[in-house]
Structure 1
Amino acid sequence: MSRVRLPLAALSLASVSALLLAGCSQSTDASKTSGNTAASAAAATGAEPAPFSKGTVKVALVRQSGAGDYFEQWGNGAKAQAKALGIDLTVYDAQADNAKQATDLSSAINSGAQAIIVDHGFPATLQPEIDKAVKKGIKVVVYDVESATKGVVSTRQNDASMAQAVLDVMAKELGKNAEVGYVNVAGYAALDKRDSVWKSTVDAQGWKQRFKVGKVTDSTATDNVPLVSAALTQHPDVTGIFAPYDELAKGTVLAVQNKKLQDRVKVFGADVSNADIQNMTADNSPWVATAGTDPSAVGAAVVRTTALELAGQLGKSSVEFPAVAITQDFLREKKIENMDQLREALPALNLAKVSTADWIPNVAH
């Protein structure tokens, strides 16, 4: 999650040099997934390596997902790619319960899974079970989770560059020495990376941070509305707010609109989904910029990464998924209303060249 690479396509206003918690707690086999994943798999041309050549491969996905369609799309992408690979995928979701996620991970270890994908969660809670899995010879791939265990493959969005892309737009919009607000929560790997960029940008721009609020719950957007509303009441001269997680951004947007400040206060978020696009393009929306990856494509790429690791073909300990900067102006000019249209306008979102091989039927969205 370093800031070393900035592989972003800057759009419209951008001048550029995807937590966390709820969902369905039931285990779901990949062969029983719902039909709402708009994905197709390109045919594989190469021979399957072991263990895929020897029968069904069992993989567990242990999630700490959040409210909103971002996590649903991520899961759908993972399930679609698993199904294309013939993987027997069992999904666990902890619903914001850290203790349950540790229990889920223990269950996955004892389930006979050959690989485990850990999607979000608190390192302190998960680390003991991750260590156990690795000691048992299970391949472990984590997404947006920090792990120091040797042999674990780390996957992530480029969160620092994602934040920088949005903050470049914010700097251009607000200028130096602006009064700003901040909506974020500490303790999540992705949000902590974005926080580091925020702090350095505040210093560089001479911004005056008037408030920091925020919490993550099973209703993050709704529960942040009163927090942001109260902060805006105390600090009416704020002209911009950074909320670097889309559920936080949605709550911030509602608070700004409820206070009838959309003509004065601009919201800068992160991540992108169908709901985010609709929110940004709505009349009088104060949400003017975001940056993100396609969650469906990321979920699929994490499964492909896991498949390559199982086959002994990955050859590296980390994989980073490049993000794309997106502005409200771009969405409106291109008349983009959903992720399908955004994918068409920005083919780079598909991550088609990330973690693939000739024996992998690559799922496109």
Structure 2
Amino acid sequence: MNKPRLVGALGLALILGASGCSQGGDAASSSPQNQDSGSVATASAPMPSPFDGDPVHIAIVQNTGQGDYFQQYLNGTRLQAEALNMELDVYDAQGDNATQASQLDQAIASGAQGIIVRHGFADTLCPGVNKALEAGISVVIYDVEIQTCAPDAVQTQQSDAVMASLVLDQMLADVGPDQDVGYVNVAGIAPLDRRDVVWQQYTADNNWNVLFKTGKYTTSSATDSAPMVDNALKANPDISAIYAPYDELTKGTLSALEQNPDLAGKVKVYGADISTADIELMIADNSPWVATGATDPNAIGAAVTRTLALDMAGQLDTLNVEFPPILVTQDMLREKNIKNMDDLRAAEPDLNISSESSADWIPVVTF
């Protein structure tokens, strides 16, 4: 057993997650460090208005920038914006919903021609979203159920039901029905709620006995959730699997399992999302994290930016866009000697979703 390897990888992942929220409360222009550079395809047609003249001013209003997923998402957003001759302002509310609503107002007042709103809550965001739409500003939402109160907004998301089904199919194949299991998730976050619907169906269909549900969504979800999962494990040690459908919650689960060495080799963990740090955790010796449902956050950020560009050019023919995930297993990573996101993209080129929200005039960024 090489336990220090998993501990080291987990420690690094938690440190990176804790330091991820560096943008502050105002618009920021500095680029995140150590991000994938991507490559830009050559467009085969001239850019339409408003992209055929001076740089186009857009903004992204994030609920939080903390964690591997959100850092990569912003990187993809930045690179695709640069390729489209967009000037991007970045707002980071650091998990504060009222601040995010205020920052949305700031973005509107700044003269942004298009705005991406990433995560948050519909109740606090809808007034600003509708204000922007009424002002003629294109608005694209990512992972917020917005259209009940802002029906004209473009809503984008990962295919969360597919993502959950891919992972839970694997969990069923691995551990079978009629098992005692644990659940680490948080209500009220749109993608996590969509994954929860699938989880509830699988638990009912397969007679999984959910002994605990715990977890916390904060700017430090992994470190804040770990002691909660630790307590749940100590009270319910006879489980065979845990579903934690967000990689920060998955990391918190792994950290909690490290505090319960008697459970080593007895509990399998099933997660969501992927990053180089996540891959390192999955392939570490004796790692319990055996499967995750994933998109490439860089590619998602780029695709959402392309969706905004299509809307601004009057060429988007839908108000709802979903991006397909894949299943990533520990066995596959080890068999193909995948150690980072570049290796994974080479093995799974569909992660680039380069055909999603694309057009012949868009220089598509791939990773």
The CA RMSD measured in Å over matched residues stands at: 1.4
Question: How does 1:209-358 map onto structure 2 within 5 Å?
Answer: 209-260=210-261, 261-358=263-360
Separation in 2 of the partners of 1:150 and 1:200? Answer: 28
Q: Please identify, of 49-58 and 302-311, the stretch whose mean Cα deviation from structure 2 is larger.
A: 49-58
How much has 1:33 moved relative to structure 2?
Answer: 6.5
1:46 aligns with 2:45: yes
Structure 2 residue identity aligned to 1:158: S
Residues 164-221 of structure 1 show CA distances to partners (whole Å, capped at 9, x for unaligned) of: 1100011111111100000000001000000000001000000111000010122111
Secondary structure of the structure 2 residue equivalent to 1:269:
strand
1:54 Cα deviation from its structure 2 partner: 3.0
Q: Which residue of 1 aligns with 2:158?
A: 157
Contact kept, 8 Å, 2:66 with 2:94, in 1: the verdict is no
Amino acid corresponding to residue 28 of structure 2 in structure 1: T
Residues 5-39 of structure 1, C-alpha deviations (whole Å, 9 max, x = no match): xxxxxxxxxxxxxxxx9452242348x66673321
Asked whether the 8 Å contact 1:22–1:64 carries over to 2, the reply is no
In structure 1, distance between residues paired with 2:21 and 2:51: 32
Is the CA contact 1:244–1:269 (under 8 Å) kept in the aligned structure 2? yes
User: Identity of paired residues, percent?
Assistant: 51
Aligned residue for 2:58, secondary structure, equals: strand
Letter in 2 for 1:51: P
TM-score (norm 1): 0.92
Distance 1:237 1:22, change over 3 A: same
- Alpha carbons of 1:153 and 1:129: their partners in 2 closer, same or farther (altered >3 Å)? same
SS of aligned partner of 2:111: coil
Q: Over residues 27-60 of structure 1, what are the superposed CA-to-partner deviations in whole Å (9 max), with x where a residue is unaligned?
A: 2348x66673321101112111111113211111
Q: What letter is aligned with 2:114? A: A
Q: Aligned pair count?
A: 344
Residues 33, 79 of structure 1: 8 Å contact kept: no
The aligned residue for residue 28 of structure 2 is 28
Q: Which structure's relative contact order is higher, taking Cα pairs within 8 Å and 6+ residues apart?
A: 1
Residues 85-106 of structure 1 show CA distances to partners (whole Å, capped at 9, x for unaligned) of 1101101010011110001000
Q: 1:141 matched to which residue of 2? A: 140
Secondary structure, counterpart of 1:146 in structure 2: coil
Q: Which residue of 1 aligns with 2:11?
A: none
| Equivalent residues of 1:228, 1:252 under 8 A apart | yes
Instruction: Return the alpha-carbon distance in structure 2 between the equivalents of residues 329 and 97 of structure 1.
Output: 39
Unaligned runs of 5+ in 1: 1-20
Q: CA–CA distance in 1 between the matches of 2:64 and 2:171?
A: 28
TM-score by length of 2: 0.91
Distance of 2:155 and 2:218 partners within structure 1: 25
Whether contact under 8 Å (2:177, 2:206) holds in the other structure is yes
Structure 1 position 262, deviation (Å): 2.5
